[in-house]
């Protein structure tokens, strides 16, 4: 089902014209814009950052390892899932792997610049521009994912409620977020984060949205002490270079990727890692 973001009517028309209020979203390069005023203005993110990220994601251990963890968890918790909506798909780095894994994928993004990169990476996917606090879908997908997205939104509970509403019965959501308030640093300021989460914070908000967590685990656990030291050093510096986190010697990059593979092995075995730079939750719709 579709939902008109203007009047709230639900409908199942072939196109996007609302049969109640008659509103049709503007199309730009074939992409429907459900929040064009935000596409121009932008909130919660520096869209110029997409151009920098697309240059480093393919080789960086964190992005590569996170993708593997996401796909492994998706297959394990939602083995019958066929369709996935990714909220805030960014440059399409996750989206590309979802397409390669055989899922029917829709990528949504607030910023057209992100969609430009994502379309090049995952041309088979469907794309929409929208505000995650008001989704034009109801019961339309097996899984809805927001991967390092909701920390950018002041009203994250609206996003979670909308994600739950967009899921079909038997499906669910997947969330990754930055974890531990004591890790707050200039990197969070630069990224326009509203918060870093605790496990209890996120689980409580998911439950209020009508979702039942099935997997809750930290990741970037083994590297957490080094991450903490790096953040403390960064806070004492008078300058901040956002690209410094990606300037990792190749040998160290490979070592960190190997450590992340050990974490995934533990998570596959059912271990919920208690602490880490990030938090992953897969939750089923009640």
pLDDT of residue 44: 57
| Torsion sign (Cα): 184, 187, 192, 198 | negative
pLDDT of residue 39: 79
Q: Is residue 5 part of a domain?
A: no
Nearest to 72 by CA among 213, 272, 212, 282: 282
pLDDT of residue 17: 93
Q: Is residue 34 part of a domain?
A: yes
pLDDT exceeds cutoff 90 at 41: no
* Token pair of 15 as six digits: 């196109």
pLDDT digit string (tens) for 43-96?
A: 556 677 888 899 999 999 999 999 999 999 999 999 999 999 999 999 999 999
C-alpha 282/C-alpha 154 separation (Å) is 21
* Between 190 and 205, the higher pLDDT residue: 205
**What is the 3-class SS of 3-67, one letter each residue?**
ECCCCCCEECCCCCCCCCCCCCCEEECCEEECCHHHHHHCCCCCCCHHHHHHHHCCCCHHHHHHH
pLDDT of residue 143: 98
CATH of the domain at 54: 3.40.50.150
Q: Is residue 74 part of a domain?
A: yes
Domains held by the chain: number:
1
The residue range of the domain holding 208 is: 27-285
Cβ atoms of 277 and 227 within 8 Å: the answer is: yes
Q: How many CB atoms lie within 10 A of CB 155?
A: 12
Q: Is residue 16 part of a domain?
A: no
Q: Is residue 40 part of a domain?
A: yes
Strands across the sheet containing 167-178: 26-28, 31-33, 126-129, 104-109, 83-87, 141-147, 167-178, 278-285, 211-219
pLDDT digit string (tens) for 240-279?
A: 888 888 889 999 999 999 999 999 999 999 999 999 999 9
When pLDDT is averaged across residues 108-118 and rounded to a whole number, the result is 93
SS3 169: strand
pLDDT of residue 270: 96
pLDDT digit string (tens) for 168-191?
A: 999 999 999 999 999 999 999 988
Q: Is residue 20 part of a domain?
A: no
Cβ atoms of 153 and 42 within 8 Å: the answer is: no
pLDDT of residue 43: 57
Distances in Å between the Cα of 262 and the Cα atoms of 93, 128, 221 are 22, 36, 10
pLDDT exceeds cutoff 70 at 98: yes
Q: Is residue 110 part of a domain?
A: yes
Q: Is residue 8 part of a domain?
A: no
């Amino acid at each position: 089902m579709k939902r008109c973001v203007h009047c709230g009517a639900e409908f199942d028309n072939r196109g996007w014209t609302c049969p109640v209020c008659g509103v049709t979203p503007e199309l730009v390069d074939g992409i429907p814009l459900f929040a064009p005023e935000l596409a121009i203005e932008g909130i919660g993110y520096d869209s110029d950052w997409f151009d920098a990220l697309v240059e480093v994601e393919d080789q960086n251990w964190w992005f590569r390892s996170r993708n593997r963890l996401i796909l492994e968890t998706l297959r394990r918790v939602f083995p019958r899932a066929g369709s996935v909506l990714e909220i805030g798909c960014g440059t399409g780095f996750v989206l590309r792997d979802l397409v390669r894994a055989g899922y029917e994928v829709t990528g949504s993004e607030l910023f057209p610049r992100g969609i430009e990169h994502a379309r090049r990476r995952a041309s088979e996917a469907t794309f929409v521009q929208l505000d995650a606090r008001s989704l034009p879908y109801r019961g339309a997908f097996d899984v809805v994912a927001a991967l390092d997205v909701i920390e950018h939104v002041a009203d994250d509970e609206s996003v979670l409620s909308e994600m739950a509403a967009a899921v079909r019965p038997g499906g669910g959501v997947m969330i990754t977020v930055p974890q531990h308030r004591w890790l707050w640093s200039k990197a969070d300021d630069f990224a326009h984060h509203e918060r870093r989460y605790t496990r209890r914070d996120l689980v409580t908000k998911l439950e209020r949205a009508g979702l039942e967590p099935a997997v809750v685990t930290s990741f970037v656990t083994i590297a957490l002490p080094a991450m903490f030291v790096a953040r403390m050093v960064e806070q004492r510096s008078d300058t901040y270079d956002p690209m410094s986190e990606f300037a990792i010697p190749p040998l160290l990059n490979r070592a960190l990727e190997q450590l992340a593979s050990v974490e995934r092995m533990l998570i596959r075995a059912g271990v919920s890692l208690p602490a880490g730079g990030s938090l992953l939750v897969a939750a089923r719709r009640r």
